[in-house]
Copies of this chain bind each other. A is one copy, B any other.
Amino acid sequence: MTQNIYDDEEFFAGYSRLRRSVEGLDGAPEWPALRALLPDLRGRKVLDLGCGFGWFCRWARQQGAARVSGIDVSEKMLARSRAETADPAVTYTRADMEHLDLPPASFDLVYSSLALHYVENLSGLMSQVYRSLVRGGHLVFSVEHPIFSATAWSHWLPDAAGRKLWPLDSYLDEGPRSTDWLTKGVIKQHRTLATYINLLIGLGFSISHVEEWAPTAEQIAAEPSWADERARPPFLLVAARR
């Protein structure tokens, strides 16, 4: 079973204070890029893997989705999602993404934001996702970029001129990384960018777009501290079709 860190008291308290938890989708700087990869949702059936507080599920309904299913392993997050959603076409289910059994040919879009890098058996999950999509259906997801997740020891290193460098290590060595983020010992699964892509191709997906996200010039103008993120991409965004 994937570590259910979101139900850890300290982690949950910290996560709840993040801008993306308070402001929702617009509080996530990568959201405009992720949104640009989505198909028209009118009348579509949508699955959100790792739905968290349900921001995307509710937004998808506002865009006209016919039915939205959110899955998450965190009881605390689902409790808040349910409390904030008064819409019978949006349902939330508690489930471990390592052992999903999704109904075949049931979704037009499977979406996931920053959740798949917690999943150990990604191959099993993606095989379920492929099966659950209708022919021509879309998969759109974001994960921590492999350059970011490679080293557990993830912090900037100043060079002699005071410039910040990202010290990369162990990129090719896939597997768990224990990092301290919001609390101690958060376990993420590092895999290379090629592994994400080849796993999808091997299942029959066609890759539509790959994005190594970093803030735009406009975003940096608004938040100058984000300029460092252009040294290495924090997020990887992928769009594929069955």
Contacts and interface: CB of A to CB of B under 8 A. Distances in A.
Interface of A: 147, 157, 159, 163-173, 192-194, 197-198, 201, 206-212, 214, 229-233
A168 B169 contact: no
A168 B170 contact: no
A208 B201 contact: yes
Nearest to A170: B231
A172 B215 CA distance: 10
Q: How many copies does the complex hold?
A: 2
A188 to B, nearest CB: 18
Tell me the dominant secondary structure on chain A's binding face. Answer: mixed
Nearest to A236: B194
Q: In this complex, which of A157, A198, A231 has the most chain B Cβ atoms within 10 angstroms of its Cβ?
A: A231
A214 B147 contact: no
A194 B165 contact: no
A170 B232 CA distance: 7
B194 A168 contact: no
Contacts of A147: 147, 168, 171
Contacts of A211: 194, 198
Contacts of A207: 197, 201, 207
Contacts of A172: 212, 214, 229-233
Contacts of A169: 163-166, 231-232
17 contacts: A147-B147, A157-B167, A159-B167, A165-B167, A165-B168, A166-B169, A166-B171, A168-B168, A171-B212, A171-B214, A171-B231, A172-B214, A192-B212, A193-B193, A193-B210, A201-B209, A207-B207
